Amino acid sequence: MSYIAPQKEMLFALNHIANLSSVFAQINSDLDLETVEGILDEAAKLNQDVVAPTNKTGDLEPSYLKDGKVITSAGFKNAFEQYTQGGWQGLSHPEEVGGQNLPKLLATVCCEMLNSSNLSFALCSMLTDGAIEAILTAGSDAQKQQYIPKMISGEWTGSMNLTEPQAGSDLALVRTRAEPQADGTYKVFGTKIFITYGDHDFTDNIVHLVLARTPDAPEGIKGISLFIVPKVMVNDDGTLGAPNDVQCLSLEHKLGIKASPTAVLQFGDNGGATGYLIGQENFGLQYMFVMMNAARFSVGIQGLSVMERAYQLARDYARERLQSRPVDGSAREAVAIIHHPDIKRMLLTMKSTIEACRAMAYYAAGLGDIAHHHADESVRATAQAQYEFLVPLVKGYNTEQSIEIASFGVQIHGGMGFIEETGAAQHYRDARILPIYEGTTAIQANDLIGRKTLRDAGAVALAFSADIDATIVQLNASSQTQLQQMAAPLQSAVQAYNRVVHFVVQNTKTQPNQVFAGSVLYLKLAGLVLSAGQIARGALAAAELLAAGNTDEVFLQAKISTAAFYVQHLLPQSSALAAAIVDGASAVSDFDVAGF
């Protein structure tokens, strides 16, 4: 049940798919590979030795509310202190507010390790990162200096308060109100639900970011403002004052991520919680989207992380579990189940999906760095458009796959997988929230269509096709049979993907119900095809290293064979997905709801 950070896999993806050296050169980073490896070594030690051991105990003994205070699971507070004292909370934040200003690409790898170690624990860091990003984007200089350094140091944490009992995905229904005061502050009244780490015992203060309406705000999403509402008031000298009017009413009892305290928060029961406006009134949703988009990418990494943890557990079990003789009669005694064809199929599905999702996510992170730091504005704009297109895929595809991969983990364990003691069931339960929170898969798919595909008539979407076409040319030119055999299924998949992109562009305005009936399938198709393109690039790189005399033959050959499985065994689903989206659209849109 232990976790070992797959550093060799991570470094391969960084170097040969995310193009780490090229990204660093483009963003003028002075990091070298030796330094990167040193950082990853330290991250691995912390997560393997300190964080990972708390995963099972947190699931068995979740956070709880006692006398109005939240008590977190055993070991969590100590792990948080070591995590923040090591500077990991500030990894990618600006130096002027106490961060280390390291590239997103590097922070993404560390994020994967943290979430594989303990998803429930990692959520506190993720929400704090989001709060920091929102204040950096729209907060005043005074707010930045007052709150961000203490969140980075681990003295305080942050939370995101959007959802209300009547307002889930539709934030136009937010009713929490903020009444302006003579001193420039606001009094905030309302109830927020599903607030991750809305209360805990890690720190003395929590910086709540709260969506609310001012009295004269227009209806709908245009009338929402964003406020800082600290759990404890902060004095002018930065010390803590009296408690603010914020109460944790209860904690949710959940299917998974049990150790993460998911709070119901009440603002303003005793005269109003003091809040401070971020930016301008009525621009709150715009600011909050900064926080949400950062969180959505991070949730996609959570999906990858859960897959990796589930795979390691299943692989190790399959190596040890003796059951049945080989189907080819090669032995008369029971063998480890890892030798049985169907177990190999499931493990290959797990391994290849993880490597493909990691490749796509790391590549996206590198684009994010270029979009923020490249000297050329046109290069930044292109990278930003590509990064934004990939975010709903990283979030949506990775998290949907995490459920299937965690389910394979249970299946490989057989009956023991259904027994909690093995740990396989926890990964399955934890994974189930990932396609739901921070925007469901359907919301990601709607975003993929409306904001990412239609805005440029599919130009960015088709640019990714062109990149894969270039990879196909290289595969066809290879002298290796395994690489050559990947070209045809990859070409068929690109054709299916292009067909759907054109269908979306040509029909969304005139037949929106038909197009959006296949929106999630489009997201899955795009995730499958684009991740396949990346894992194929990895196979080409592995072949080049072998040809150059690299001695790590087992690892590199496994990279090629794993990519071949993904492309030949899983990628053909793309044709079926395209047919369902284009040819089967009316079967959904025209169905009479009276028939349900």
pLDDT in tens, 413-442: 999 999 999 999 999 999 999 999 999 999
**pLDDT given for residue 1 in this prediction:** 63
Rg value, the chain, Cα:
24
pLDDT in tens, 19-54: 999 999 999 999 999 999 999 999 999 999 999 999
How many Cα atoms are found within 13 Å in the side-chain-facing hemisphere of 95?
A: 4
Whether the per-residue pLDDT at 383 is higher than 70: the answer is: yes
Domain with residues 53-86+118-282, CATH architecture: Beta Barrel (2.40)
**pLDDT given for residue 594 in this prediction:** 98
Q: What is the mean pLDDT of residues 66-70?
A: 95
**pLDDT given for residue 292 in this prediction:** 84
What does residue 255 show for φ and ψ, rounded to 5 degrees?
A: -65, -45
Q: Which positions are catalytic?
A: 438
Tally the residues of the chain. 596
Distances (CA, A) of 119 to 220, 292, 561, 583: 34, 18, 30, 39
Whether the per-residue pLDDT at 544 is higher than 70: the answer is: yes
Whether the per-residue pLDDT at 168 is higher than 90: the answer is: no
**pLDDT given for residue 291 in this prediction:** 78
**pLDDT given for residue 581 in this prediction:** 98
**pLDDT given for residue 64 in this prediction:** 98
C-alpha dihedral (446, 451, 454, 455), degrees to nearest 10:
170
For 399-438, give one letter per residue: b (16+ CB within 10 A) or e.
bbbbbebbbbbbbbbeeebeeeebbbbbbbbbbbbbbebb
**pLDDT given for residue 288 in this prediction:** 84
Closest by CA position to 201, among listed 338, 66, 56: 66
Residues 6 or more apart whose Cβ sits within 8 Å of residue 571: 489, 490, 493, 528, 529, 532
Q: Dihedral sign, CA of 286, 288, 292, 295?
A: positive
Closest by CA position to 433, among listed 226, 187, 262: 262
Of 495 and 294, the structure prediction assigns the larger pLDDT to: 495
pLDDT in tens, 503-522: 999 999 999 999 999 999 99
What helix, strand, coil percent values describe the chain, rounded to 5? 65, 10, 25
Beta strand 225-230 with 205-212 is: antiparallel
Q: State the pLDDT confidence band at 294, using cuts at 50, 70 and 90.
A: confident
Whether the per-residue pLDDT at 170 is higher than 90: the answer is: no
Distance (Å, whole) CA 371 – CA 380: 4
Whole-number percent of the chain with pLDDT over 70: 100
The tokens for 283 are 């621009």
Distance (Å, whole) CA 365 – CA 430: 24
pLDDT in tens, 118-137: 999 999 999 999 999 999 99
Mean of the per-residue pLDDT values for the chain? 97
Distance (Å, whole) CA 516 – CA 445: 8
Residues 6 or more apart whose Cβ sits within 8 Å of residue 86: 42, 46
Distance (Å, whole) CA 308 – CA 4: 10
pLDDT in tens, 198-257: 999 999 999 999 999 999 999 998 999 999 999 999 999 999 999 999 999 999 999 999
Q: H or E stretch including 276?
A: strand 273-277
* Domain boundaries defined on the chain: 53-86+118-282, 442-590
